[in-house]
Chains A and B, each alone.
Chain A
């Protein structure tokens, strides 16, 4: 399968790679929302972190991704699109827009779905931590205790 030039560009020059600290550090911060979706056994894990102002504007976003080139490109693109948006605006982003922008083939649509899920998941996490809305179930992976 051939990749689109946009996918290759995001793969080779991913935007906004990183995190706002170790997993412990970011878990404690109320201005940061974390979305981790997917699973290693499915072949993709996306981690999106958003830094949100008190006015609800996404000031910064960082991602990490274990997955195929299309998954990396989808999450890289997602960080570009949400930066500077309000959380409500970011929630309007649909996976179909990502598919269109990156010219993803049908077998790669799940990569775009995962990117959309990671945005929703990060925003939910921020809302829960900042008290912006009633608590919802944790969207971050939890360590299993024996």
Chain B
């Protein structure tokens, strides 16, 4: 059967590692025996099939813990970051609530407007259930500082949830400082570290984190598996489970463990721990070259987000006067994302870019290029050429580029919005 979206490109360049990554072959190799000869249920305590599965999970837990500087007992396996975020936010809110269910004034939560939906939507649900929340508006560089969090705290604040690195921009928030502030104020601190962990050094002790979410498929592991770090001492963080059942994962996440997935997740964590430092330098050099070349060759090219406080592998770039989706069509050999939302019924561009106040026109003109383990210098060279060609093609068509060249200030024009 031929699917309508079947790949048509001969040698596509994958620059969408912030969306997902290819599984490392070493990860797949580690997982395979757990589908066949080691197929046991880790909950079967009385035979070797169960023991083998349990051993696999506990080795994975050690690798996962090591990657973030935690104790193995503090790692809870989940289905991915969305579940980890839901468990952390809803689970903590329920335990630390200041009033019983059904009442108002149950507690205040601090987050930021450009968090991932998997953080914003659980918090919005809690707001319908008697909790209050503050959504910090990010500054134009996208970086949330401890000062901003401090200004948002209230006497009834029970939880702060600030992501470590932003998924669209790669910008890095002041997490250790926010952690310190929360511990001083005795407020639980959760961070969605999906884009951060595995790429940047992490230590939940020195960084003073109480709850941390991450996912397997962003770090060259399988999809459908992730983890939540839950601090066990100073303070001991408690969570209300979201699903009840067999009491697996210290009762916080009932359900037969995804043994093969967890084994793959552990292997992915181990590989990242070993390769992080050299890989980080390699990615940063390639990304900087990509940005420098594009800015040099194409006028009105803007890199969104803080210039240096950014992950080494994510670049979010706006090319003025060119619409993002048409640009992606022009670079069909490159797999990437756009902040343009031309396919959405709302016609709204990325809420993350909008929250930075960069203007809807530039938000519609953005590409997110995210590099990874198998990205090569040659691919970056090709990407630069293809993007330059496509932008030039589209600017020849763009009425906005004509107005720009005529010296018209586009922001002063009254458009007939539809």
Contact = CB atoms under 8 A, between A and B. Distances in A.
Interface of A: 1-3, 8, 11, 14, 17, 19, 22-23, 36-47, 64-69, 71-72, 107, 110, 113-114, 117, 139, 141-144
Contacts of A139: 416
A66 B347 CA distance: 14
Contacts of B400: 40, 45, 66
A77 B416 CA distance: 22
22 contacts: A17-B396, A23-B408, A38-B415, A38-B416, A39-B415, A40-B400, A42-B360, A42-B417, A42-B418, A43-B323, A43-B325, A43-B340, A43-B342, A43-B347, A44-B323, A45-B400, A68-B329, A68-B343, A71-B323, A71-B342, A72-B326, A113-B418
Interface residues of B, number: 39
Contacts of B396: 17
B399 A47 contact: yes
Given A2-B4, A42-B347, A107-B343, A69 B412 contact: no
Contacts of B101: none
Contacts of A64: 397-399, 402
Interface of B: 4-5, 321-323, 325-326, 329-330, 340-345, 347, 349, 359-361, 364, 396-403, 406, 408, 410, 412-418
A19 B347 contact: no
Contact of A143 (B323, B412, B417): B412
Given A36-B399, A68-B340, A41 B360 contact: yes
Contacts of A110: 347, 418
A138 to B, nearest CB: 10
B343 A66 contact: no
Given A43-B323, A66-B321, A66-B323, 14 more contacts: A11-B329, A17-B396, A22-B406, A23-B406, A40-B410, A42-B347, A42-B417, A45-B415, A64-B398, A66-B397, A107-B345, A139-B416, A143-B413, A144-B412
Contact of B418 (A11, A40, A117, A143): A117
B390 to A, nearest CB: 10
Contacts of A107: 343-345
A114 to B, nearest CB: 7
Task: Please give me the 3 A-B residue pairs with the lowest Cβ-Cβ distance, nearest first.
Answer: A41-B360, A39-B415, A40-B361
A101 B375 CA distance: 40
Given A22-B406, A23-B406, A143-B408, A37 B416 contact: yes
B415 A141 contact: yes
Given A3-B329, A23-B406, A23-B408, A66 B399 contact: yes
Contacts of A113: 418
B413 A144 contact: yes
Contacts of A1: 5, 343
Given A11-B326, A14-B397, A65-B397, A141 B402 contact: no
Contacts of A144: 412-414
Contact of A66 (B359, B360, B398, B416): B398
